[in-house]
Structure 1
Amino acid sequence: MRVEARPRARFFLAMGVLFLAVALAGFTGTYFVPLARRSFSAPAVVHVHGALLFGWLLLFIAQAWRVRQRRMVQHRRWGWFGAGLCVAIMASGVGVGLFATRRDLAAGGGDFALGQFVNILVEMLLFGALVGAAVAMRRDGESHKRLLLLATISALAPAWLRFRHFLPGVPHPFVTFSIVADTLLLVAIARDWLMLRRVHPVYLWAGGAMVAVHAIELLAITSAPWTGMARWLLGVSG
């Protein structure tokens, strides 16, 4: 049992490092470099949200490392910190959404900006639901860690979208990079199949639900229900 568990822990540790690399690469040009040049201007909630998300990625790596080292008492203690971090990420994410939507509407973003606000709210609820499910299933280690992996994959979508600045020739970047973001689920599924000769049910029901939500967001972003909901929430007239 002990020999079998180590390779499994290694995969989640490696995925955590990959997540961090994607986030650093994605936000370097649009956040870190402008920040260093003192040309980045945004309210405090943007900086707080960014710090919380990078804190989540570092915690994911640290927790995977603790499992690998069999430091399960520490892992459980820090897990409750992660639950609180999730709540803070959701709250600050809504604040960032409000700021970005008002900014984009002022710049003429129109229905896309309104629909994007609803997408942000849905994404925060999805992240919270996946983390909440992971907390509820914390005694089932195999389900628990896969749910947290899915939550992190979902949270990385904004970083992936910023890769359009590196690859300006990519057609329909909003759709393309949203699809690329979810392909990490295929990596996790492939790893399960290669190592275990089966796919864990979490990847099927929770992962399938995640992809379905993302597909609905892409299709509905400028639809009447999405823009109408955004106008109602923001108090913006049609």
Structure 2
Amino acid sequence: MHLARPQQRTRFFLAMSLVFLAIALTGFSTTYFIPLATRTLHAPPVIHVHGILVFSWLLFLILQSGLVQTRRMPTHRRLGAYGAALAASIVVSGVAVGLHATRRDLVNGADPFVIGQMVNILIEMALFGGFVAWAIAWRRDGEAHKRLLMLATISALAPAWLRLRHLMPGVPNPFVTFALLADALLLVAIAADWIRQRRVHPVYLWGGGFMVAVHLVEIWAIESAPWQRLGRWLMDVPAT
């Protein structure tokens, strides 16, 4: 079986890391960076902390991919512990941001979508943290390790994709449309595997398949009765 050279494989993951950063910068441009630059952003500290952590993760991913490409593996391994701590901090701050955003949106009424979104946020943070933990556990298997980190980042970028609706207001049903576009990055990764190696790594099949299945359930169930009951319990919203 023909295998791509390590440098070719690594270059792809570095390129994808740069794509992830571009998506995040574009998605949050209208709701965070531009208001921040024009001093019109009014947000609690937790929003800024979470934003710093997420963008630190994206920059960390670029750095680590670059270190692998230049074969500076000892440095790459030493920095791994910082990545683990960063990911754990993102999970904690992400839940905190979700609580803040849901409470803020509930001021305008107990909309079913708003109530259900907190459940989705908890699932997304668990998914991101789970993929990172899996990647750490399999850190000695470089091929699986880097693909698991890619899946974690694809999943974490969903909020940036959703905010693209402000740049493309004509997109119908943005929650569904941009959620599907976010997961389409998995198809790019699968295609890259197939083109270079004529096979798809099992991490993409099992881990990626699980990620897509979870996102489809979230889209379908956000306003369902179980989601609403759990969301109301989490946010202490009385049943109507």
Normalising by structure 1, we get a TM-score of 0.98
Matched residue, 2:17:
16
Measure the CA separation in 2 of the matches of 1:165 and 1:35. Answer: 16
2 CA distance for matches of 1:90 and 1:43?
A: 18
| CA deviation after TM superposition for structure 1 residue 79, in Å | 1.1
Deviation at residue 108 of structure 1 after TM alignment: 2.7
Following the alignment from structure 2 to structure 1, what is the Cα–Cα distance between the partners of residues 121 and 67?
32
Deviations 1:58-111 (A, max 9, x none): 000000000001111111111111011011000000100000000111023511
Is residue 56 of structure 2 the alignment partner of residue 70 of structure 1? Answer: no
- Other-structure match for 2:232: 231
What is the match of residue 159 of structure 2? 158
Counterpart CA distance in 1 for 2:182 and 2:170 is: 18
Over the residues paired in the alignment, what is the CA RMSD in angstroms? 1.4
Tell me the residue number matched to 2:59. 58
Q: Matched residue of 1:183: which SS? A: helix
Q: Secondary structure at the residue paired with 2:190?
A: helix
TM (normalized to structure 2)?
0.97
Quote the residue 2:8 is aligned against.
7
SS of match in other structure, 1:40: coil
Matched, 1:43 2:32: no
Partner of 1:136: 137
Distance (whole Å) between structure 2 residues aligned to residue 165 and residue 233 of structure 1 = 29
| Mapping of residues 1-238 of structure 1, within 5 Å | 4-108=5-109, 110-238=111-239
Kindly tell me the number of residue pairs found equivalent between the two proteins. 238
Quick one: distance in 2 between partners of 1:131 and 1:191?
22
For structure 2, which runs of at least 5 residues remain unmatched after alignment?
none
Q: 2-side partners of 1:22 and 1:47: how far apart?
A: 18
- Following superposition, the deviation at residue 166 of structure 1 comes to 1.0
- Deviation track 1:202-222 (CA, whole Å, cap 9, x = no partner) reads 000000000000001000101
Extract structure 1 runs of 4+ deviating beyond 6 A: none
Instruction: Name the SS for the 2:28 alignment partner.
Output: helix
Determine which structure has greater relative contact order: mean sequence separation of CA pairs < 8 Å that are 6+ residues apart, divided by chain length.
2
SS in 1 for 2:199: coil
Task: List runs of 5+ in structure 1 lacking aligned partners.
Answer: none
What letter is aligned with 1:229?
Answer: L
Q: Identity percentage over the alignment?
A: 62
* CA separation of 1:89 and 1:11: change in aligned 2, threshold 3 A: same
SS in 1 for 2:5: helix
